[in-house]
């Protein structure tokens, strides 16, 4: 399927400029020497001696081999690339637009995204009811149907609630959980450590930490991340701290621990430092472009990665000139994609902001 304006006709000029049919280009995890599918088959059939050895080793840390097997598979499947922190679309009555969400999932996968992250900050988890939160995860898992990994947002400032959401994500069939650090409470670093440790011990699902101090006030500092990386089913972190020194330390001191850029404007330098990909907001709007930029950086094609990064940089910045996800929802509406308005206390993007956003989208030939 050719890249197209959402719901519109394919644009030959854009296809020529931005790349060919994404269905012919494997997601970056599939570019490893051994294919993902082959490795997963080996694990599932228990025919790989290495897999069995890892499984036995992990079993010492886990209570049963089922957990160890899930962990091994998650460490392989979807390990690199672009994951979209997908918006939660609302209908004209402010209710979750289930069909719109399914359409958005298809749009993402058809344009090369390697994974979907529902009910994160961009998915307005803060203003979803508990029932809606769980239902959105169920919709995404159901509609993705195994095509790409689903990393469900399950964080909360209540440890007990985090355990509830994380257990639900596991039961719903998510591949992993993305857990933001507790917000508002302002826990110490020891409190952050104990929070994640408790959830990880309570639910047998791979967990990716999420630090975004601009939202939570408290950062997950590098020494805390390093401690948490020793817990077997805490497998990575989405870092939106903006601190490249912190990211470098985690990459250096935690070999094998997954690190994802959580700030689109820093995707390029973060991946050059050794990160495994990005969990992106901008990919809601330009999935193919963002995916191509991340893939080029992962391949070490610095010239192409820099070109795409510089092309996308105005989009990265304009999507945060007002509180996210208001700008990304405005952009999707301009493109004809299901989005709806953000829920209060967030409001629609200002007219001045929309004017700036519309120019950036037009310059990228997205509208």
What lies within 8 Å, CB to CB, of 314 at 6+ separation is 360, 363
Tokens representing residue 211 in the block: 């630090």
Assess whether 186 carries a catalytic annotation: no
Q: Which of 39, 134, 238, 333 is catalytic?
A: 238
Assess whether 210 carries a catalytic annotation: yes
Q: Which residue matches tokens 């893939």? A: 295
DSSP 3-state of 180: strand
Q: Could you tell me if 295 and 304 are in contact, meaning their C-beta atoms sit under 8 angstroms apart?
A: no
- Extended beta strands in 29-171, E state: 81-85, 115-117, 151-153
Question: How many residues are given for the chain?
Answer: 367
Rounded Cα gap, residues 331 and 36, in angstroms = 34
DSSP 3-state of 125: helix
Q: What angle do CA 42, 43, 45 make, to 5 degrees?
A: 65
What lies within 8 Å, CB to CB, of 11 at 6+ separation is 2, 3, 4, 5, 365
CA atoms within 13 A of residue 81's CA, in its CB half-sphere: 28
| C-alpha of 256 from chain center | 18
Q: Could you tell me if 80 and 276 are in contact, meaning their C-beta atoms sit under 8 angstroms apart?
A: yes
DSSP 3-state of 249: helix
Q: Could you tell me if 108 and 144 are in contact, meaning their C-beta atoms sit under 8 angstroms apart?
A: no
Q: Which of 39, 165, 193, 210 is catalytic?
A: 210
Tokens representing residue 89 in the block: 């679309």
Q: Could you tell me if 189 and 221 are in contact, meaning their C-beta atoms sit under 8 angstroms apart?
A: yes
Tokens representing residue 316 in the block: 């990265």
CB atoms under 10 Å from CB of 1, counted, come to 12
Active-site residue set: 210, 238
């Amino acid at each position: 399927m050719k890249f197209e304006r959402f719901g519109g006709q394919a644009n030959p000029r854009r296809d020529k400029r931005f790349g060919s049919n994404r269905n012919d280009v494997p997601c970056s995890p599939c570019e490893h020497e051994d294919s993902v599918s082959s490795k997963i088959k080996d694990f599932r059939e228990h025919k790989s001696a290495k897999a069995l050895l890892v499984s036995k080793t992990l079993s010492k840390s886990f209570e049963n081999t089922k957990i160890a097997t899930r962990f091994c598979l998650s460490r392989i499947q979807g390990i690199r690339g672009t994951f979209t922190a997908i918006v939660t679309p609302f209908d004209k009555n402010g209710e979750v637009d289930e069909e719109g969400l399914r359409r958005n999932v298809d749009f993402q996968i058809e344009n090369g995204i390697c994974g979907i992250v529902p009910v994160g900050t961009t998915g307005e988890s803060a203003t979803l009811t508990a029932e809606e939160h769980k239902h959105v995860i169920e919709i995404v898992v159901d509609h993705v149907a195994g095509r790409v990994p689903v990393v469900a947002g399950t964080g909360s400032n209540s440890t007990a609630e985090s355990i509830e959401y994380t257990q639900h994500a596991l039961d719903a069939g998510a591949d992993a959980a993305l857990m933001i650090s507790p917000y508002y409470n302002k826990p110490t670093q020891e409190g952050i450590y104990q929070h994640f440790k408790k959830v990880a011990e309570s639910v047998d699902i791979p967990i990716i930490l999420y630090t975004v101090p601009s939202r939570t006030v408290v950062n997950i500092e590098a020494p805390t991340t390093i401690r948490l990386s020793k817990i077997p089913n805490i497998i990575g972190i989405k870092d939106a701290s903006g601190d490249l020194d912190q990211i470098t330390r985690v990459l250096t001191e935690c070999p094998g621990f997954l690190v994802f850029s959580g700030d689109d404007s820093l995707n390029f330098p973060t991946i050059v430092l050794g990160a495994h990909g990005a969990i992106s907001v901008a990919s809601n709007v330009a999935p193919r472009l963002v995916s191509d930029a991340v893939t080029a950086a992962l391949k070490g094609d610095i010239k192409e990665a820099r070109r795409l990064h510089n092309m996308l940089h105005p989009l990265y910045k304009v999507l945060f000139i007002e509180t996210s996800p208001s700008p990304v929802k405005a952009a999707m509406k301009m493109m004809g994609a299901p989005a709806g308005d953000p829920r209060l206390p967030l409001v629609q993007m200002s007219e001045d902001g929309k004017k700036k956003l519309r120019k950036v989208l037009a310059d990228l030939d997205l509208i």
